[in-house]
Structure 1
């Protein structure tokens, strides 16, 4: 007996098909609802460095670690030093459950531009955050 591969094995490549709804429309099951964070200028500067877009005129530089800690507190994370240079950021007051860890820069105490961008990409992958979610507090 020969089995057809397409009937036995699940699809592993390509874009999965969306399941049709009762009315016949294809609907994605994920929700794209993201919060908007209203931040003071200091915290906003940190997140603009993490999620740098060339359309903004200011070129980002290094980000002080203390400013990064304060900005993460402002958006609802509780920082906790674990061991060595590892810090864990646990959500408190956010609709996410998972924590994320980052290493404190040493010996300078400032996040270089490339490291800040890497942190921004990790926040994007973990929580779906992007630069347009951070706005100045009026």
Structure 2
């Protein structure tokens, strides 16, 4: 009788252990690239987790990250990529203090188009979604 209980116990715990090993999720490592490469080879990075560096401009509707500070000042949209970053009216003034700053941004890249709640928006250089931004330290 003890042998049967031992066999059942081993079988039960072995089954739990085996099924626990199969539940691990794989986390995709982000691909660090330049904004220029992202735009030039946009299809290569479609729906990929990417990391880019650039100068940000926050707007209520659609914010952008630019290649350089000069491109930001000239609002050169051909040298920028839109990004979706939820900004409530109360936090707009908080994030606006980072306008023009060089940041590290990560997110999922979608080339060529973005979806708005009302209609499809045509984005020449695509859009970055699920955005995380590493801001520079600002002393006040």
TM-score (norm 1): 0.24
Query: Which structure has the greater CA radius of gyration?
Result: 2
Report which of the two has the higher share of strand.
2
